[in-house]
A = this chain, B = another copy of it.
Amino acid sequence: MIKVHYLENSQAIRIVWLLEELGLDYEIKLYKRDKTTKLAPEDFKKLHPFGTSPLVEMDGKVIAETNAIIDYILDRQSQQPLRPEKNSESYEKYNFWFHASQASLMPMLFTSFLFHKVTTSVPFFLKPILETVSKKIHTIILSPRTDRILFLLNQDLGKGPWLCGEELSAADIVLGYSLKVAEARVGLSNFANCRKFIENMEKREAYQRALERVGGFSTNL
């Protein structure tokens, strides 16, 4: 039995969605975030030296790192529709976004989130300074990079409902969380196909079942 150690409102939603798409049996242990710091509680951090969510218990071990978990699960399915055939054009697209969502888009959003947290949490007389600094960092580095990624994504999502066209893949499952965060952090009003992707995801039954299992999901940390 697969056990998902699920930190609420975290990227772990991807793993639950994946398991629902694959129709696999699994159980969930839910962990609430610390009310003040919004970080994972101590009992969660003790599960694995990494201390990040998601963590999955499977085959007698605890596995960390979102994309490594997804590969681990997919590698163990004799038949699965979520990873295109190697060397196909779909695979190229798949592999690019599978990596890029996590290693290029998410870091921009994470840093933007941290600057947002900082500017909203300092005493009021420091806010203007922090806002100026944050704005500068966004103008020079974060916004141009994020926009370039979303621009390409929006272009690719113009060719079909999912990254590889008509068929959902695990790259879409990775992307889904990233786009929910992007919507909350930077908005998607200039990226209609990205917005449409979120709608498609939220209409999907497996995603809805995943939400039900974890008691809903919010990017509003």
Contact = CB atoms under 8 A, between A and B. Distances in A.
Interface in A30-79: 37, 39, 49-52, 63-68, 71-72, 75
A50 B104 contact: yes
A114 interface: yes
A1 interface: no
A157 B103 CA distance: 23
A140 B114 CA distance: 11
Interface string A112-127: 0010001000100010
Given A103-B106, A104-B50, A133 B118 contact: yes
A95 B107 contact: no
A140 B37 contact: yes
Nearest to A153: B49
A103 B66 CA distance: 9
A102 interface: yes
A67 B141 CA distance: 22
A191 interface: no
Interface in A81-100: 86-87, 92, 95-96, 98-100
Contacts of A28: none
A29 to B, nearest CB: 20
A192 interface: no
Contacts of A72: 92, 95
Contact of A104 (B52, B87, B95, B144): B52
Nearest to A37: B140
A126 B129 CA distance: 8
A148 interface: yes
Interface in A144-176: 144-145, 148-149, 151-152, 155
Given A49-B151, A51-B145, A114-B141, 18 more contacts: A37-B140, A49-B152, A50-B104, A51-B148, A52-B145, A64-B96, A65-B104, A66-B99, A67-B103, A68-B100, A102-B103, A107-B110, A107-B111, A110-B111, A111-B114, A126-B129, A129-B129, A130-B133
